[in-house]
Copies of this chain bind each other. A is one copy, B any other.
Amino acid sequence: MIKENKNDKSTEQKILEAAKQVFMEKGIDGARMQDIADKAGINKALLHYYFRSKEKLFEMIFMEEARKFLPKVTSIMVSELTLFEKVEKFVGEYIDTLLQNPLLPIFILNEINRNPKEAIKKIFGNQRPPIDKVDELIAKLVKKGEIKPIKGYELMVNMVSLCIFPFLARPMVQWVTKTTDEEFLKLMELRKKTVVKFVLDSIKK
């Protein structure tokens, strides 16, 4: 039988959590297996007993995090909501995700930079986001005179940019705005509304 655990968390779980932290903070090249073992409260031998190599361990973590990075774009964009509602839902859910995973963006973008082909495959599978659908949706609303024309991909890129960037540049943003960690998070909380407003004000006619 599998020895479930004498402690609260299983060892595997402790390792994964430690690895996630270390990889997110230092990147794969800066991370040390010893640090991960320490943070997990075990030793290097056991660490390798669970995950044969650094690469494999990183792989696991990346797979786990990759899914979070791509929000339910597709499901939201293909839903029956109006465009305005979609923007609101998209931004809200995305910033919520980032509030719970502040280091996710730099982690993912670094891996995309290091290993674009593989990383992108892991994030998207082989399904490109449905920008055509977005284009169609926009076209309709333009015809109805409700919004100004804008390319679908551009609307998407802009939304994502506005959501993610502050987290990427967090230390800079905090320095410029003289905010504490707590205040920064509050700002991002507010930002859920202001970004939606910013985007909608921009495209509304």
Residues of A in contact with B (beta carbons under 8 Å apart): 26-27, 29-30, 106, 109-110, 112-114, 116, 119-120, 123-124, 128-129, 131, 148, 150-151, 153-154, 157-158, 160-162, 164-166, 168-169, 171-173, 175-178, 191, 194-195, 198-199, 201-203
Tell me which residues across on chain B come within 8 A of A198, comparing CB atoms: 150, 154, 158, 202
Cα-based distance from A177 to B131 in the complex (angstroms): 9
> From DSSP, what is the main secondary structure of chain A's interface residues?
helix
Point out the residue from B165, B178, B201 that lies within 8 Å of A164, measured CB to CB.
B165
Contact between A168 and B201, CB atoms less than 8 A apart:
no
Tell me which residues across on chain B come within 8 A of A128, comparing CB atoms: 175-176, 178
Contact between A131 and B30, CB atoms less than 8 A apart:
no
Report the minimal beta-carbon distance from A101 to chain B, rounded to whole angstroms. 14
Point out the residue from B110, B124, B165, B195 that lies within 8 Å of A175, measured CB to CB.
B124
Tell me which residues across on chain B come within 8 A of A202, comparing CB atoms: 198-199, 201-202
Contact between B110 and A106, CB atoms less than 8 A apart:
yes
Tell me which residues across on chain B come within 8 A of A160, comparing CB atoms: 165, 169
Contact between B168 and A168, CB atoms less than 8 A apart:
yes
Tell me which residues across on chain B come within 8 A of A116, comparing CB atoms: 171, 175
Cα-based distance from A123 to B172 in the complex (angstroms): 10
Contact between B171 and A166, CB atoms less than 8 A apart:
no
Point out the residue from B113, B153, B158 that lies within 8 Å of A106, measured CB to CB.
B113
